Homo-oligomer: A and B are copies of this chain.
Amino acid sequence: MRKVHAFTSISLDGYFTDATGDMGWAHRYDDEWRAFSSGNASGEGELLFGRRTYDMMASFWPTPQAAQMLPEVAAGMNRMRKHVVSRSRDKADWQNTTVLKGDLAGEIQTLKAGTGPDIVILGSGSIVSQLTQARLIDGYQIVVIPVVLGQGRTLFETVRGKVDLKLTKSKSFGNGNVVLWYEIG
């Protein structure tokens, strides 16, 4: 079975997006954080996105600005196989993208049962929440950004009932971010 990992940033109060939908507060690039992000994008995984995160990423990573700002991450993001969850869309323009149009849990179960590398969800809070509820995520890599937003959408908004996690690792960075690694407990 292929594994599914979620890599998502949240505020200290648990929001992946603020009340206006903005995620700019999560971007805190310095050399150390850039190196960590580049390492993350250099693997052989496949990527899974919700439609909103996909559109945001698809409008940035193929551009010359991305290649200049974060060359390794951009190359990795463009090269890797990608899946976008969307019932309304038939095709997606960013290279190496497949559209998943069916029932989300069913689509992911099919992907997991197939062959290939592990699957990484980037951002995509709504997808993370739904797949957590369905117990289809094997590992979480949560970046806690040093900010309080007060209002927004919580990463696990559709989860009903307590989900116990097992902390496997944690690491703090000079920009104030703390990365927490969990498995389902």
Interface residues of chain A, those whose CB is within 8 Å of chain B, are 10-15, 18, 25, 132, 142, 144, 146-151, 154-167, 170, 172, 176-178, 180, 182, 185
Contact = CB atoms under 8 A, between A and B. Distances in A.
Contacts of A11: 14
Q: How many copies does the complex hold?
A: 2
A50 B25 CA distance: 30
Contact of A14 (B14, B159, B177): B14
Given A148-B162, A164-B147, A182 B12 contact: yes
A163 B178 contact: no
B176 A178 contact: no
Among A12, A149, A158, A172, max chain B CB count under 10 A is at: A12
A147 to B, nearest CB: 6
Contact of A178 (B10, B147, B178): B178
A172 B162 contact: no
